[in-house]
Amino acid sequence: MVQAISHLAGLLQAQTDTSEILMTITNTDQNECEFAVAWPNASADMELIETWQTTPLITDSKGNLLNFKDTVKSLSGGTLSPPLLDQDNLCTGGC
């Protein structure tokens, strides 16, 4: 996860005017947790977000490349929520 967030920070810094990333982890009523990422006062196009979510970051024990989406699924069986979009249909956070 740290590598994925570091990758996101690099993409945002290179392509937007983002100066900070906010992350929260919240316990849900179903004994699950929700991990949210947001970048206030900046937005990114959906292509950047898709690139972040699908770029291979690590390999599993069998040598298969895993991206952020794969990692979330393999670690928890979880899924990614739809991104938060602003009035211009640009992403302002969400995972």
Query: What are 3-22's pLDDT values in tens digits?
Result: 888 888 888 888 887 878 88
- pLDDT above 50 (res 95): no
| Domain count for the chain | 1
Structural domain containing residue 37: 2-93
**Quick one: pLDDT at residue 85?**
60
Higher-pLDDT residue of 47 and 93 is: 47
Query: What are 37-88's pLDDT values in tens digits?
Result: 888 877 788 888 888 888 898 888 899 888 888 777 776 666 666 565 666 6
Distance between CA atoms of residues 12 and 16, nearest Å: 5
Which helix or strand (DSSP H or E) is residue 9 part of?
A: helix 2-15
- pLDDT above 60 (res 29): yes
CA-CA-CA-CA torsion sign (93, 80, 7, 25): positive
